[in-house]
Structure 1
């Protein structure tokens, strides 16, 4: 938290002049698929591929301090369910805070390409609330993630995005089917991949957003 406050204070003076030239805020809405890889429940012989599904969506708010650097807060909803046994299921709510870097700007894409296309990289940490089956209490899981987001500009107000983000769950006690992984309550490392598509809506009364300035 102290690091984030210092980062904000560092960029505020610079941003006070830049904010007069482009919009800083954007809202991202999208959904897609998730692909769990770990942990594997030793008591359940079901393949983790059974839990691949399109039952997820994500909402993000992003603020760009300048053309290259910003912060993003995100909420994600994930529903894991065994395709062969619908009683094996979990629900996950994930909240993350990430730094964002406009790699397209840094790589100095040629103007004709950058006019409609750019590439963001993002990474950060957060917390997930995992609700196992037949339980009313959520398990709190810390997570780390790092992803890439290609953007295609549709207009000055809207862009289309794709996103691929691996997510690392630091201490996971329940499988994606909702079963306790270890009788002694020993935690395991969880890992799943998200692939999403959606739209970015640029907010503000300037003609351009920092993504395209």
Structure 2
């Protein structure tokens, strides 16, 4: 865990230093602020209680709204809020479950196409790399499992009505395509590793040997809009 936090910390330090060193962009007038809306298919990777399993169907179970500010055409920061609903819908080999997960994230962003100077050759295409921290609250909605002999007794609790606050590492890659000077189509694949998650993705408590982690992946598609009076956003080479 410490190594991951140190890596993210160094990423932000490098981001700040490089944003100041890029003096060749200091006199370039660009639109720096972008807003983004997207929807995603999110899948909890681990952990699950026996009898419950992840839903691999492609369902749009996540929605995000974000804003990104670029210090220069290569480096910036991004903040977003999201909502995720993991459930066993249409999955025959799993017991019924549902958890809800509102999120808030702050990440450093690197415009890889500008950084590696391939923006001219790829034209309207672009590539962003991002990493940072995500805060979340996990709300289980799964019904408790009752004792088969005595239905008045709870066999396994799924913590319905409770919530778990968490923080995790998020990192990913975002290909994009410029539609107009202001609008771009963006896709993304992100991985999140929670640092102290005690609940499973079906809502129960994890066994002690693995109850301090939880992982999920999101694959999204969305639309971005560049704010400002300049012709195009700094993501793109004129």
Instruction: Report if TM-score (shorter chain) is over 0.5.
Output: yes
Whole-Å Cα distance in 1 between the matches of residues 104 and 55 of structure 2?
A: 25
**In the alignment, does 2:90 pair up with 1:81?**
no
Where structure 1 has 5 or more consecutive residues not aligned to the other structure, the ranges are none
| TM-score of the pair, normalised by structure 1 | 0.84
Aligned residue pair count: 207
**TM-score relative to the length of structure 2:** 0.76
Aligned to 1:123: 131
Question: CA, structure 1 residues 199+50, in 2 after alignment: closer, same or farther (shift >3 Å)?
Answer: closer
Question: What secondary structure does 1:104 align onto?
Answer: helix
Higher strand share: 1
2:75 aligned with 1:69: yes
1:190 is aligned to 2:196: no
When Rg is computed on C-alpha atoms for both structures, the one with the higher figure is: 2
Change over 3 Å in CA distance of 1:136–1:20 after alignment to 2: farther
* Compared CA separation, residues 197 and 139, structure 1 to 2 (3 A): same
- Provide the secondary structure at the position in 1 that maps to 2:235: helix
Q: Secondary structure at the match of 1:155?
A: coil
Preserved contact between residue 69 and residue 102 of structure 1 (Cα < 8 Å): yes
Out of 189, 200, 212, the residue aligned to residue 224 of structure 2 is: 200
Q: Are the structure 2 counterparts of residues 87 and 40 from structure 1 closer, same or farther at C-alpha, using a change threshold of 3 Å? A: closer
Identify the residue that residue 155 of structure 2 maps to in structure 1: none
Query: Using the alignment, how far apart are the partners of 2:199 and 2:110 within structure 1?
Result: 34
| 1:126 Cα deviation after fit | 2.0
Q: C-alpha displacement at 1:73, in angstroms?
A: 0.4
Report the counterpart of residue 135 of structure 1 in structure 2: 160
- In the TM superposition, what whole-angstrom CA distance separates every residue of 1:78-129 from its partner, at most 9, and x where no partner exists? 001122578521100111110000101122216252x301100000012111
1:177 counterpart = 2:211: no
| Alignment CA distance shift 1:110-1:96 (3 Å) | closer
Residue 107, structure 1, aligned to residue 106, structure 2? no
Hey, what's the Cα distance between the residues in 1 that align with 2:27 and 2:36? 20
